[in-house]
Amino acid sequence: MLFKLLRRKDSTVITIYLILIILFIIPSLLSPVFRSYGNISNILHQAASLGIVSIGQTFVILLSGLDLSVGSVISLTTVLGATLMRDSPLAIFLIVLLCLAVGAGIGFLNGFLVSKVKLSPLIATLGMMALIQGVALQIRPYPGGYIPRSFGEVITGNLCFVPVPAITFVLVIVAAIIILRKTVLGNYIYATGGSEENARLAGINIDRVKIFAYTICGFVAAVAGLVLTGRIRSGDPLVGTSFPLDSITAVIVGGTPFAGGQGGVEGTIAGALIIAMLSNMLNLLNVSSFYQYIVKGLILITAVVIYSLRRK
């Protein structure tokens, strides 16, 4: 896969992975705590939920859209899980299915509003964000609820020393890469993102492509919500607040431009890992969390400036 990446014309993905490797090596040399198994598995736990959401976000941004409602979907998932789950495996299974269906349903509605009602993605998903946030707060105004021990242990446990969230992340990545690179649907997504008019004239049903992408985004946000539910073991109606902007940042840093049509999940993965690693690094260095806002903003802008200079 690495060889294939190197052969590809745009070197954006290579650059972003180089930055990721450098960002990993330097603090590893400096700090034994950073390179310890515990910390790396910690980073993977943190990166997993953000990374999974960002992959859904990539689908939408490839279509020159965006989804601001992913955070609310995550919050709603944790709230639903913590309110409805009981100790039997069957109940857990059903609730997991329910959460995934709710996420996909919300994504479908977003796609419907964007494609059929022709709302701008910002307004449609902004309205949805407020609506779903309201629903989550209605169900559970304060964090709490009950998550069965077994669910939390399975979701956050280890499988042969590899954290389960990392495995979930990899599964989502593989599925996304297959859809985008190997199926007709993936071609349709790139074509529609490149030029809607051309795609339409070529006979692509762009409305359906959009609905599909937003549905995936909602579904994947619910997956991330379940991973997070296992980690925090409670329902928190505001836990998803930072995810919309963080996931968009991960996608943009990963080299998929807002204009859509190019880029892909390969870069997004690195983008999400960089964001998760950076927070971890700054925390280990005892940097006040106030500076982290500034650092995040500057990193995003640097990445985008580099990309835009390169595309000239």
Which residues contact other proteins (rule: CB under 8 A)? 66, 113, 117-120, 122-124, 126-138, 141, 245, 248-249, 252, 257-259, 288, 290-298, 300-301, 304-305, 308
Tell me if 229 sits within 8 A of 147, measured CB to CB.
Answer: yes
Please give the Cα distance from 177 to 57 (Å, whole number). 14
Q: Smaller CB distance to other proteins: residue 90 or 117?
A: 117
Q: Are 110 and 219 in contact (CB under 8 A)?
A: no
Question: CB of residue 309 vs other proteins: minimum separation in angstroms?
Answer: 9
186 or 255: CB nearest other proteins: 255
Minimum separation from the CB atom of position 52 to other proteins (A) = 21
Which amino acid, 32? P
To other proteins, the closest distance from the beta carbon of 5 in angstroms equals 25
Q: Which helix (H) or strand (E) holds 202?
A: none
Shortest distance, position 291 Cβ to other proteins, whole Å? 6
**Smaller CB separation from other proteins, 191 or 251:** 251
CB of 262 to other proteins, least distance (A): 14
List Cα–Cα distances, 235 to 19, 23, 71, 138, 214, in angstroms.
35, 33, 14, 12, 25
Q: Which amino acid is at 98?
A: L
Q: Which is nearer to other proteins, 77 or 249 (CB)?
A: 249
Q: How many residues can be counted in the chain?
A: 312
Helices and strands: H and E segment counts in the chain? 14, 2
Considering the complex, what minimum distance in angstroms separates the CB of residue 252 from other proteins? 6
Please state, in angstroms and rounded to a whole number, the distance separating the CA atoms of residues 290 and 135: 31
Strands 162-163, 158-159: pairing kind:
antiparallel
- Given the complex with other proteins, which of 131 and 167 has the nearer CB atom? 131
Between 14 and 135, name the residue whose CB sits nearer to other proteins: 135
Residues 6+ apart with CB under 8 A from 274: 16, 19, 20, 23, 250, 253, 299
Q: Closer to other proteins at the Cβ: 161 or 290?
A: 290
Closest approach of other proteins to the CB of residue 141, in Å: 7
**Cα–Cα distance for residue pair 151/87, rounded to 1 Å:** 9
- Whether the CB-CB separation of 261 and 189 falls below 8 Å is answered with no
Q: Nearest approach, Cβ of 154 to other proteins (angstroms)?
A: 31
Name the residue nearer to other proteins (CB basis): 47 or 128: 128
User: Across 140-260, where does the E strand assignment appear?
Assistant: 158-159, 162-163
Residue type, 92: I
Cβ atoms within 10 A of the Cβ of 118, count?
9
